[in-house]
Structure 1
Amino acid sequence: MKNKDTLTLGHQACFPLYALSREITNIYRPLLDDLDLTYPQYLVLMVLWENEAQAVNEIGEKLKLDSGTLTPLLKRMESKKLITRKRKADDERSVEIALTISGKALKKEASKIPAKMISSLGISEEEMNQLKRITSKILNKISDREK
């Protein structure tokens, strides 16, 4: 293959991943609008629904977000009364995030979103699981390389 041929969108793995990410986020938008959530807020809530009360840096590690991105997001969520932010007594540098009653209550409504997404994408649950396995494998390899 000639070098110039490799510089087409059709030969790139990164472009379909980028485009797919944008499209999936666009499909999420109306589902999350019904809950008055943005996609990043939804991600934070999922982390907290899984393991309530976590430090900001723990949430950031799980979502691969730095504190400069996460802090304003968490402040907006606090103003919506979805979470509380509290300095840890044993380490005042660390801020603990916990769900409010409203944040916990959203889980029931949000639990319908994954099935709606699979339906909207027109793929099977097995195809979705295959996509998750492959993307998780790549993300893990990148994370391992960065350590």
Structure 2
Amino acid sequence: MTNPLLLDEQLCFPFYAISREITKRYRPLLDPLGLTYPQYLVMLVLWEEDEQSLKAVGERLHLDSGTLTPLLKKLEVSGLIRRIKNPTDERHIKITLTAEGRNLRQQAERIPLALKEVLGVSEEDLELVKQTLNRLTLKMNGTD
């Protein structure tokens, strides 16, 4: 019987290791845009659909408001987004891109292809991994 506490036996470790490696590979691609990886994820959500609620952005990224709010504040200070409070209920915040945030999208369009080149993995392998991880995420969130 194998030792269940061996690092190589842990399901969590490959996820942790690959997450760190992917984030490290994004850094030189995102630095010219002035974005961190988590900020890039927020921008991706807004580039897909502008003017979303804080709650919707958080749900899409699987982040709570305590984690998301500092990211949004930094993006707002950078001039890429605006946070607009609902005048009748200040708990409801709408997130919208500024012109600068919309324009940054053009520069960001090169990032997915550049990352694939940096990783040196076939399109088929990447798609298989992505599909598998998406299925696992759905199962873990009970939406499968």
TM-score range, shorter chain: over 0.9
Aligned positions, number: 143
What are the residue-to-residue correspondences of 1:64-75 with 2, within 5 Å?
A: 64-75=62-73
Is 1:138 paired with 2:136?
Answer: yes
Unmatched runs of 5 consecutive residues or more in structure 1: none
Q: CA RMSD in A?
A: 1.3
Identity of paired residues, percent?
49
Q: Which moved more, 1:68-77 or 1:90-99?
A: 90-99
Q: TM-score w.r.t. structure 1 length?
A: 0.92
Q: What do residues 78-124 of structure 1 show as CA deviations (whole Å, max 9, x unaligned)?
A: 01000011012454320000000110011111110111111111101
Taking CA–CA contacts closer than 8 Å with sequence separation of 6 or more, which of the two structures ends up with the larger relative contact order? 2
* Shift, 1:12, TM fit: 2.1
Q: Which amino acid aligns with 2:140?
A: I
Task: Give the alignment partner of residue 31 of structure 2, picking from 25, 30, 33.
Answer: 33
Q: What do residues 22-72 of structure 1 show as CA deviations (whole Å, max 9, x unaligned)?
A: 000000011100111001110000000001100001000000111011111
Name the CA distance, whole Å, in 2 between partners of 1:88 and 1:47: 21
Name the CA distance, whole Å, in 1 between partners of 2:127 and 2:104: 25
Q: TM-score w.r.t. structure 2 length?
A: 0.94
